[in-house]
Every structure is written in structure tokens, then in C-alpha cells.
């Protein structure tokens, strides 16, 4: 008698690699996409309701749509990769602006720019979409998000503000399609939620046809609900029902009826969900529009417009007076903070993932690897030729301003003769104290010599040099004149090459 191959039933792999490995962030995409209703994501648990292998011999769906599996990762990049800017820290985009809801009450309620709520309300009122997937606060436990299908502005308003616990928004998306029969849905979520929806689109799952727009939030991580609430009760004597509001700035701020408690993030970082430690995406790089705070500005948000659909909708809302915008280039500190947070998150995640590779035997986030695909491409075909350089004599302050204006995170540094003498990054520049930035020239803190390849080398050679020298970019120089810069290649260029070939 022929026996069934367990590996062909995706749930077995999902359970082994994601759920039992502690990597599930409870988005509910597996439940929404499952054709047999075999999965339930409820109360912070991912359960199997029945054994689908009794009815099926093969089904790849739940594992492939899970944001923490390696499947479809490259393909999802295609939803944004036609954008003109390819930034190592922030991904593909068309434009970055500062924005706020024109309604001051909304800004107060959101404790940020109120941009997400404002856009969703406008979109539903003007029938850009027929519903929005939002995360309201549970009435009996205001810290706990309740993923909901909002169909009218009041529903959207009741979800204003961030909740720092997992919200099964992809499951709610499934409910909007199957339960409510919605066909033009706006989806809001953190980067892993956004990836789950993009995977459904890449998979060509039929529920993805009903997606109108994806608004992604910036995200450093979410906390496991029960352990965090227990920590608050044990250490600060705060019961879940006493929490009025949780907010995040440089500290984790818990507001109760009587008190405001400010907890250093380092004190509770062990309670961040395990997947967040290997998550490389800070700014929801696959969303149509990404939105996060604009610290140190209050009542403003940072908005990254990535796709044409995102741009059309956002500027329609601006033209109709529901959103104010401001140029980010005038606020260099905002750009620096967002770009730095993105780089730091990615660097820490890659380090952690490399440590885990042996244990788990696969690494979804390390999409860029040594591969034959890179050996078939020449450096000269993918390099950026218009390389912006800075002179070693510019000050750190001037450099940081330039980075914010040009949206770069690193430059080759040249001496007076135009010879490359090093490479300077945003991260290194920000390590110079504020008070010394006006008087410190870039040449004084240069640590790295530029790493170079030749135009005729393959992209694989460039990748190997980046790995060997632990850098994200290499210069392309003329083999006959090694001081002559012809171009530059970054890890983003290599990723773009893989995306194009997929």
C-alpha cells in the first residue's frame, strides 16, 4: 500500500519550523488561506482543528504564505521593485514625506500624526475601498488588539493608536472576504503582516484579489502578551484591567488611572516575540504606503510612498485637505533616526539569524546568498554609475545634512586629488557627539578603506568581497587606473538582480 508523504502537507512543515519553533507571530494568514479550515489562530495560540491530510495528499499553502517561511520571499519584492529609489536602509520607494492629519483632535487621539486613521476614513468615505482591517483595543483589556473589519468611519476611529501586542489582522482579512463579502479592502499591519498579504498575492490566492491597498507600519517588535502583562503585575503591581494606554517612545510607557510608568526597553526586551529578533524589516518595505513616527517631531508621521497605487491614493487625500505634508529633507534628524533604526534592526537580525542557522537549518531572512544566479551577471551591468562622493574635509554636520537631502546612508570619501581614501556611513557619523559634529572632518573618523571590484567581475565576486570585508557596498574601479571610480554596487543592487531573475 502506498503511504502518504507527510512533507507534502504544508501544515506539518509549518508546525515543525514555525509554530513549535516559537516563530509564529499570530498574524492568522495560515488560517485565512487554508482551504479546509484546519487552522485556528485565537487567544495567542495557533491550533490545528483537524488533520487535513485525511482529505488531501498535497497542499503547500499555509507554509508558503507564512511570513516567517523562506517561500516566495523574492517574488514578493516585485510588488514594489518598480519604484525609482532603491535605498539600502528603507527599501524601494517613490517619495518620503512628513505628514499629519489636518484634524488636530485625531492627532491627539493617535499620539502621532493620525495619518493612518485619516487615510482609512477618507478612503472609506470616498469609496476607494469598502472596508479596512484595523486593530481596535479590547474594551476589558485596552492593551490587547482586536483585529476587526471596519466598514464605517467610527469603526476606524475606534482603532486609533498603536497596540504593542500581536494582532491577527490577516485572519480578519480572511473574515472580510468570506464573512463580509468585501471586495476592496484596505489592510493595515506591521511588516510581517504586510509580508503575509504580499505572499498571498504572490501565491495568487483568490482572497488576495480583494485587496485594495496595504498600509504598513514601522515596527521594532511586538511583545508576547501574557508574559508582559505578568511582568507588569509582578514588578509594577499593575493589573491588565487598570491599563488605560500603552505608548512607546524611548521608553515603554504604561498609563493607568492613577499613574504613568516608564519602563526602559532594555528591561523588557526579553519579552519581545522570538521572530522579531530575526526580522530585518523596520519600515514595512512591501507596503503601498509605510507609516511610522517622526521623532523628535510631535504630531507628525514619517510616510514612505512606495507604489503607484499608494502615491495616487495618498496625494488624492492630500489634495482634498485631510492630510498636511512637510518636506523631510528640512528635518535631517527624522531621516537619520528612521534610516539608522532600519540599519540597526537589519544588522542585528542578520547576526541573530546567522547564529540560528545551524539550529534551524534554514534562514528565511538571508535571501542574499552565494548563488549561481549572481555568477551570470557582470558588475558593469548592475553598477550605479553616477556615484556621489564626499571630500574628506566636509564636517560630520555637513555630511549628515547631505545624507538627509540625498537619502543616502553611505559615501565613498575622496582626497583633494579625487583618490578614494575610505567609506563613511550614517552609523559611523552618528557616533560623533552632537557637540563635535561641526568641527570634526570626515577624514578624522574614517575607518574603512574602500573595497573595490572591476567592471568585468561577476556579481558573485562583488558579493564575496562584501562578505569577506563585512561591508554592504563595493566600489567599481578601472583596472588600469585603480584610483578612478567607475561605479558602485550595494547589497540592494545584488538583491535587485536576484529579484529580476526570479
Ligand X SMILES: Cc1cc2nc3c(=O)[nH]c(=O)nc-3n(C[C@H](O)[C@H](O)[C@H](O)COP(=O)(O)OP(=O)(O)OC[C@H]3O[C@@H](n4cnc5c(N)ncnc54)[C@H](O)[C@@H]3O)c2cc1C
**Binding-site ranges for ligand X (CB under 6 A):** 110, 112-117, 134-135, 145, 159-164, 167, 169, 188-190, 217-220, 222, 291-293, 301
**How many helices (H) and strands (E) are present in the chain, helices listed first?**
20, 21
The one of ligand X, ligand SF4, none whose footprint includes residue 162, by CB under 5 to 8 A per kind, is ligand X
CA–CA separation, 124 and 186 (whole Å): 9
Total of residues contacting ligand SF4 (CB under 6 A): 39
Contact yes or no for 489/473 (Cβ under 8 A) = yes
For ligand SF4, the closer of residues 196 and 396 by Cβ is 196
492 near ligand SF4 (CB under 6 A): no
**Least CB distance from residue 15 to ligand X, whole Å?**
24
**Least CB distance from residue 75 to ligand SF4, whole Å?**
17
The one of ligand X, ligand SF4, none whose footprint includes residue 25, by CB under 5 to 8 A per kind, is ligand SF4
Query: Residue 204, CB half-sphere, CA atoms under 13 Å: how many?
Result: 0
132 near ligand SF4 (CB under 6 A): no
Q: Which region among 11-19, 130-138, 298-306, 327-335 touches ligand SF4 (by CB under 6 A)?
A: 11-19
Instruction: Provide the β-strand partners of residue 134.
Output: 148
**Least CB distance from residue 191 to ligand SF4, whole Å?**
4
The one of ligand SF4, ligand X, none whose footprint includes residue 487, by CB under 5 to 8 A per kind, is none
Q: What backbone torsions phi and psi does residue 437 show, to the nearest 5 degrees?
A: -70, -30
Q: Which region among 26-34, 73-81, 85-93, 155-163 touches ligand SF4 (by CB under 6 A)?
A: 26-34
Q: Where are the beta strands (DSSP E) in 240-374?
A: 243-248, 251-256, 260-264, 289-293, 301-305, 323-327
Nearest to 498 by CA among 216, 76, 39: 76
What's the Cα-to-Cα distance from 382 to each of 172, 252, 273, 479, 500, rounded to whole Å?
41, 43, 37, 17, 11
CA–CA separation, 85 and 74 (whole Å): 18
For ligand X, the closer of residues 192 and 382 by Cβ is 192
80 near ligand SF4 (CB under 6 A): no
Applying the rule CB under 6 A, the residues between 366 and 425 that interact with ligand SF4 are: none
Kindly state the cell numbers that stand for 188.
493595515
**Least CB distance from residue 353 to ligand X, whole Å?**
20
Residue 476 CB neighbours (<10 A): 24
Q: What backbone torsions phi and psi does residue 434 show, to the nearest 5 degrees?
A: -50, -45
Contact yes or no for 329/405 (Cβ under 8 A) = yes
Q: Mention every residue, 6+ apart, whose C-beta is less than 8 A from residue 436.
A: 396
**Least CB distance from residue 81 to ligand SF4, whole Å?**
20
Applying the rule CB under 6 A, the residues between 262 and 301 that interact with ligand SF4 are: 273, 275-276, 279
For ligand SF4, the closer of residues 37 and 296 by Cβ is 37
Q: Which region among 29-37, 102-110, 141-149, 425-433 touches ligand SF4 (by CB under 6 A)?
A: 29-37
Applying the rule CB under 6 A, the residues between 209 and 268 that interact with ligand SF4 are: 219, 221-222
Q: What backbone torsions phi and psi does residue 68 show, to the nearest 5 degrees?
A: -100, 10
Kindly state the cell numbers that stand for 56.
488531501
35 near ligand SF4 (CB under 6 A): yes
Among 36, 324, 384, 458, binds ligand SF4 (CB under 6 A): 36
The one of ligand X, ligand SF4, none whose footprint includes residue 76, by CB under 5 to 8 A per kind, is none
Kindly state the cell numbers that stand for 345.
534592526
500581536: which residue's cell? 166
CA–CA separation, 445 and 392 (whole Å): 10
For ligand X, the closer of residues 323 and 429 by Cβ is 323
Among 17, 66, 379, 423, binds ligand SF4 (CB under 6 A): 66
For ligand X, the closer of residues 165 and 423 by Cβ is 165
CA–CA separation, 104 and 252 (whole Å): 24
Kindly state the cell numbers that stand for 307.
507604489
CA–CA separation, 241 and 368 (whole Å): 45
For ligand X, the closer of residues 163 and 205 by Cβ is 163
Q: What backbone torsions phi and psi does residue 270 show, to the nearest 5 degrees?
A: -70, -15
Helix or strand run (H / E) with residue 91:
strand 91-93
336 near ligand SF4 (CB under 6 A): no
CA–CA separation, 134 and 113 (whole Å): 17
**Least CB distance from residue 1 to ligand X, whole Å?**
47
Applying the rule CB under 6 A, the residues between 179 and 218 that interact with ligand SF4 are: 190-192, 196
For ligand X, the closer of residues 304 and 403 by Cβ is 304
22 near ligand SF4 (CB under 6 A): no
40 near ligand SF4 (CB under 6 A): no
Contact yes or no for 409/492 (Cβ under 8 A) = no
For ligand SF4, the closer of residues 76 and 222 by Cβ is 222
Point out which residues bind ligand SF4 (CB under 6 A): 9-11, 14, 18-19, 24-30, 34-36, 38-39, 41, 46, 52, 56, 59, 61-62, 66-68, 190-192, 196, 219, 221-222, 273, 275-276, 279
Amino acid at each position: 500500500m502506498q503511504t502518504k508523504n507527510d512533507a507534502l502537507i504544508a501544515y506539518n512543515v509549518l508546525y515543525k519550523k514555525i509554530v513549535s519553533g516559537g516563530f509564529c507571530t499570530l498574524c492568522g494568514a495560515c488560517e485565512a488561506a487554508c482551504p479546509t479550515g484546519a487552522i485556528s489562530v485565537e487567544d495567542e495560540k495557533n491550533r490545528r482543528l483537524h488533520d487535513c491530510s485525511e482529505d488531501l495528499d498535497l497542499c503547500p499553502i499555509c507554509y508558503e504564505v507564512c511570513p516567517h517561511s523562506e517561500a516566495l520571499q523574492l517574488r514578493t519584492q516585485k510588488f514594489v521593485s518598480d519604484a525609482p529609489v532603491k535605498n539600502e536602509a528603507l527599501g524601494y520607494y517613490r517619495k518620503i514625506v512628513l505628514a499629519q492629519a489636518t484634524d488636530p483632535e485625531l492627532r491627539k487621539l493617535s499620539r502621532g500624526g493620525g495619518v493612518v486613521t485619516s487615510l482609512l476614513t477618507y478612503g472609506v468615505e470616498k469609496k476607494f475601498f469598502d472596508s479596512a482591517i484595523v486593530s481596535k483595543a479590547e474594551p476589558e483589556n485596552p492593551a490587547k488588539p482586536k483585529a476587526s473589519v471596519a466598514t464605517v468611519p467610527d469603526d476606524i476611529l475606534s482603532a486609533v493608536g498603536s497596540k504593542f501586542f500581536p494582532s491577527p489582522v490577516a485572519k480578519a482579512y480572511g473574515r472580510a472576504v468570506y464573512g463580509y463579502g468585501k471586495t476592496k479592502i484596505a489592510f493595515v499591519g506591521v511588516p510581517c503582516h504586510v509580508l503575509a498579504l504580499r505572499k498571498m498575492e504572490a501565491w495568487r490566492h483568490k482572497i488576495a484579489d480583494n485587496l485594495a491597498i496595504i498600509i504598513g507600519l514601522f515596527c521594532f517588535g511586538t511583545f508576547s502578551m501574557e508574559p508582559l502583562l505578568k511582568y507588569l503585575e509582578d514588578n509594577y503591581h499593575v493589573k491588565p484591567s487598570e491599563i488605560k494606554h500603552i505608548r512607546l517612545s524611548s521608553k515603554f510607557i504604561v498609563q493607568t488611572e492613577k499613574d504613568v510608568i516608564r519602563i526602559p526597553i532594555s528591561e523588557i526586551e526579553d519579552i519581545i516575540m522570538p521572530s522579531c529578533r530575526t526580522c530585518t524589516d523596520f519600515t514595512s518595505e512591501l507596503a503601498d504606503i509605510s507609516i511610522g513616527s517622526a521623532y523628535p517631531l510631535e504630531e507628525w508621521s514619517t510616510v514612505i510612498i512606495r507604489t503607484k497605487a499608494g502615491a495616487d491614493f495618498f496625494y488624492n487625500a492630500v489634495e482634498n485637505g485631510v492630510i498636511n505634508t512637510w518636506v523631510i529633507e528640512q528635518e535631517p534628524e527624522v531621516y537619520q533616526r528612521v534610516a539608522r533604526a532600519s540599519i540597526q534592526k537589519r544588522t542585528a537580525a542578520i547576526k541573530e539569524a546567522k547564529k540560528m542557522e545551524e539550529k534551524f537549518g534554514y534562514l528565511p531572512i538571508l535571501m542574499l546568498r552565494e548563488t549561481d544566479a549572481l555568477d551570470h551577471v557582470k558588475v558593469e551591468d548592475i553598477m550605479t554609475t553616477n556615484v556621489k562622493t564626499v571630500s574628506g574635509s566636509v564636517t560630520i554636520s555637513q555630511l549628515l545634512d547631505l545624507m538627509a537631502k540625498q537619502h543616502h546612508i553611505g559615501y565613498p570619501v575622496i582626497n583633494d586629488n579625487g583618490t578614494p581614501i575610505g567609506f563613511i556611513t550614517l552609523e559611523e557619523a552618528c557616533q560623533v557627539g552632537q557637540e563635535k559634529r561641526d568641527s570634526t572632518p570626515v577624514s578624522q573618523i574614517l575607518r574603512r578603506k574602500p573595497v573595490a571590484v572591476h567592471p568585468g567581475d561577476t556579481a558573485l565576486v562583488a558579493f564575496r568581497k562584501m562578505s569577506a570585508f563585512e561591508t554592504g557596498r563595493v566600489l567599481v574601479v578601472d583596472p588600469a587606473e585603480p584610483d578612478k571610480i567607475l561605479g558602485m554596487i550595494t547589497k540592494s543592487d545584488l538583491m535587485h538582480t536576484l529579484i529580476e531573475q526570479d
